[in-house]
Structure 1
Amino acid sequence: MDRPGFTASLVAGGVAGVSVDLILFPLDTIKTRLQSPQGFNKAGGFHGIYAGVPSAAIGSFPNAAAFFITYDYVKWFLHTDSSSHLMPVKHMLAASAGEVVACLIRVPSEVVKQRAQVSASSRTFQIFSNILYQEGIPGLYRGYKSTVLREIPFSLVQFPLWESLKALWSWRQDHVVESWQSAVCGAFAGGFAAVVTTPLDVAKTRIMLAKAGSSTAGGNVLSALHGVWRTQGLPGLFAGVFPRMAAISLGGFIFLGAYDQTHSMLLELGRESP
């Protein structure tokens, strides 16, 4: 990938990430509290829905930038012909690689953010300091495996669907989709992927919020899912599905639309500059 393409992916990904995380933060807080072990009201209810926003603000740009740099690089590296039936496989591989890299930044930010969301009286920096003091660096990466196991299936659904919908729309109108059309495709793809992967999101939330030293804190996704199933059944596995679907549908619209718009604009500027 050439330098203009690398820079465009980095900046466009970062702008898209910050936009979606800050705009949709209240919905994310509500979803986290619905999934928390103590229940929605004890976790804070509708009070302090911006608790943890500093963590999200700090982590958003580098997290999204890392994803799209990796995603676009792997797509470029694999350079499959656009008419090939292997295109969805290429998008799946690129999205999976992007998630593995991005989660190195996302998980510490997510751990701090989610603990702040269910403990609105505590400051974000205080929570960050407590994690480092009590659990060290591994505490910041608690739930890394469960996050990756949630994000990869999510991306395996969302990104090939997004790319396929854009390709279909382009074919129907006989020209490349515009940014708002890409955003609509992103909303549909994100919402569908969100519903399918909600149980994995519940498991990830339980692992990140579990008390240090508990069996759930060990990070076993199947064990966490079994625990939720045993105590709350199917409704527990899909706790928070509606705010999650709403947030990710809106997020897909903003995130992928903003990415396409910014990426196209930066590439155009790159072509115009000497």
Structure 2
Amino acid sequence: MDKPPTNTVALLSGGIAGTAVDVSLFPLDTVKTRLQSQQGFFKAGGFRGIYAGIGPAVLGSAPGAALFFCTYELTKSVGSNYVPAPILHMVGASVGEITACLIRVPVEVVKQRAQAGRQPSSLIFRETLRREGFRGFYRGYLSTVVREIPFSLIQFPLWEFMKSTWSKREGKPIEAWQSSICGAISGGISAGLTTPLDVAKTRIMLAEHGSQTARGNIPDVLKEIWRTEGTKKLFSGIVPRVMWISIGGAIFLGAYEKSKITMMKMYS
């Protein structure tokens, strides 16, 4: 079994991984958001301003990912002697997502509104604060958590299982590039299966303040999309989402593993 990283290593490695994936794949994320928006891809901006909203994304990437991995590794460490590995990975990922979303959701609210072609990030921040107050930055928190937990329940046990299987076959801990491949496969599968939840989250965050959609009732949002726009719309953006998260999973988990291995060697 791999030696668990310290909190400092998990924080720093997570921060590096989060920044690397969000900055490198931001254009794909913008395309996905615009495909999922109610006004449609071209009215939301098409391929114009593909880096709109990158400011808040960069600011939130490192702390959000750092908080996730620190919580994930801490949960694994605390429960390793009491809980079977697959369940432990599910619990760790779920707790990590709930915690990380405290930072991730306000960033997503500002970022996605900028991506949908509304205003610059700074104006969106001020307008959200003026019209909705601090709570406005957490619109979609529940829908984000509801999306992220099923995603992580699939991705992280699958990632850990593939790493463990590969490691056993080779008789040694796997390298960062191998972890990256495992991350791409597990991320792509998880992304495809949870796309409808991602569509609902996007609609809730982009909805006009005070509207029915803005209330954040996920089953109602999914039902309304299905009723008025059809089943196909529930999977809008699935291609860029799967591409983004497959490549992102490779970068994110590969960068995390590489940073973790490097830092643990430095501190050993």
When the two structures are superposed, what TM-score results if normalisation uses the length of structure 1? Answer: 0.95
Task: Read off the aligned partner of 2:60 and give its amino acid letter.
Answer: G
> 1:22 aligns to what?
23
Supply the distance in 1 between the matched residues of 2:188 and 2:94 (Cα, whole angstroms).
Answer: 18
Name the SS of the counterpart of 2:55 in structure 1. Answer: helix
Supply the distance in 1 between the matched residues of 2:137 and 2:252 (Cα, whole angstroms).
Answer: 25
> 2:143 aligns to what?
146
Task: Read off the aligned partner of 1:29 and give its amino acid letter.
Answer: T
Task: Read off the aligned partner of 2:169 and give its amino acid letter.
Answer: R
Any gaps of 5 or more consecutive residues in structure 2? none
> 2:117 aligns to what?
119
Partner of residue 177 from structure 1, selected from 174, 178, 200: 174
Name the SS of the counterpart of 1:41 in structure 2. Answer: coil
Q: Can you list the C-alpha shifts for 1:20-54, whole angstroms capped at 9, x where unaligned? A: 00000000000000000000000000000000000
Supply the distance in 1 between the matched residues of 2:81 and 2:160 (Cα, whole angstroms).
Answer: 14
> 1:196 aligns to what?
193
8 Å CA contact 2:4–2:77 kept in 1: the answer is no
Name the SS of the counterpart of 1:34 in structure 2. Answer: helix
Supply the distance in 2 between the matched residues of 1:79 and 1:167 (Cα, whole angstroms).
Answer: 15
- After superposition, the Cα gap between the structure-2 partners of 1:187 and 1:229, relative to the gap in structure 1 and judged at 3 Å, is same
Any gaps of 5 or more consecutive residues in structure 1? none
Task: Read off the aligned partner of 1:107 and give its amino acid letter.
Answer: V
Supply the distance in 2 between the matched residues of 1:234 and 1:4 (Cα, whole angstroms).
Answer: 44
Supply the distance in 2 between the matched residues of 1:234 and 1:89 (Cα, whole angstroms).
Answer: 32
Supply the distance in 2 between the matched residues of 1:228 and 1:7 (Cα, whole angstroms).
Answer: 43
Q: How much does 1:3 deviate? A: 11
Question: How many corresponding residue pairs?
Answer: 266
Q: Can you list the C-alpha shifts for 1:144-167, whole angstroms capped at 9, x where unaligned? A: 000000000000000000000001
Supply the distance in 2 between the matched residues of 1:166 and 1:157 (Cα, whole angstroms).
Answer: 14
Name the SS of the counterpart of 1:171 in structure 2. Answer: helix
Partner of residue 87 from structure 2, selected from 65, 81, 89: 89
Supply the distance in 2 between the matched residues of 1:12 and 1:169 (Cα, whole angstroms).
Answer: 22
Supply the distance in 2 between the matched residues of 1:49 and 1:68 (Cα, whole angstroms).
Answer: 29
- After superposition, the Cα gap between the structure-2 partners of 1:199 and 1:4, relative to the gap in structure 1 and judged at 3 Å, is closer
Supply the distance in 2 between the matched residues of 1:26 and 1:174 (Cα, whole angstroms).
Answer: 39
- After superposition, the Cα gap between the structure-2 partners of 1:3 and 1:80, relative to the gap in structure 1 and judged at 3 Å, is closer
Task: Read off the aligned partner of 2:72 and give its amino acid letter.
Answer: Y
8 Å CA contact 1:80–1:90 kept in 2: the answer is no
> 1:258 aligns to what?
255
8 Å CA contact 1:4–1:270 kept in 2: the answer is no
Name the SS of the counterpart of 1:42 in structure 2. Answer: coil
Q: How much does 1:172 deviate? A: 1.3
Q: Can you list the C-alpha shifts for 1:220-267, whole angstroms capped at 9, x where unaligned? A: 000110111011211110000000000000000000000000011111
Q: Can you list the C-alpha shifts for 1:70-120, whole angstroms capped at 9, x where unaligned? A: 000000000138xx8x21000000000000000000000000000000116
Task: Read off the aligned partner of 1:129 and give its amino acid letter.
Answer: R
- Moved beyond 6 Å, runs of 4+: none
Identity %: 55
> 2:209 aligns to what?
212
> 2:72 aligns to what?
71
8 Å CA contact 1:91–1:160 kept in 2: the answer is yes
- C-alpha RMSD over aligned residues: 1.4
> 2:103 aligns to what?
105
- After superposition, the Cα gap between the structure-2 partners of 1:3 and 1:71, relative to the gap in structure 1 and judged at 3 Å, is closer
Task: Read off the aligned partner of 1:176 and give its amino acid letter.
Answer: P
- After superposition, the Cα gap between the structure-2 partners of 1:178 and 1:4, relative to the gap in structure 1 and judged at 3 Å, is closer
Supply the distance in 2 between the matched residues of 1:20 and 1:138 (Cα, whole angstroms).
Answer: 28
Partner of residue 131 from structure 1, selected from 128, 136, 139: 128
> 2:40 aligns to what?
39
Supply the distance in 2 between the matched residues of 1:150 and 1:190 (Cα, whole angstroms).
Answer: 13
Supply the distance in 2 between the matched residues of 1:216 and 1:74 (Cα, whole angstroms).
Answer: 35
